[in-house]
Amino acid sequence: MEDYKYSLDIMRQELKSKWICPEIKYALKASIEALGKQIPQRPTHLTAKNDIKIGSFIFHKGCKIYSCKCKEWVGYKDPFCKHCGQKLKWD
């Protein structure tokens, strides 16, 4: 597998170049967004302050709940965020 973080750094650096056309910049931005979702991110870990309904489940006050960087709730140990596709890291 190629090094995703290294590839992202190269593309971000290339975006700063004034010599590339808008179409290539657009393609680079889309590629950065897509590739970034393949690099696992830790969900934010919160404690429910009140009873909260997420999907069809009710989490009671004091339960641990998790959110993705897109601000949507994710299930514990979900491999991906079902809202934005971000790969999640749980260790």
Chain residues that interact with Zn ion, rule: CB under 5 A = 68, 70, 81, 83-84, 86
Nearest distance from C-beta of residue 35 to Zn ion, angstroms: 15
Nearer to Zn ion, 42 or 61 (CB): 42
Q: CA 28 from chain center: how many Å?
A: 18
For 52, the token pair is 């909260």
Task: For the CB of residue 69, give the shortest distance to Zn ion in the complex, in Å.
Answer: 6
Q: Which residues contact 8 (CB under 8 A, 6 or more apart)?
A: 32, 35, 36, 39
Secondary structure element (H or E) that encloses residue 12, with its range? helix 4-15
Residue number, 65 or 86, with CB nearest to Zn ion: 86
Q: Which is nearer to Zn ion, 65 or 68 (CB)?
A: 68
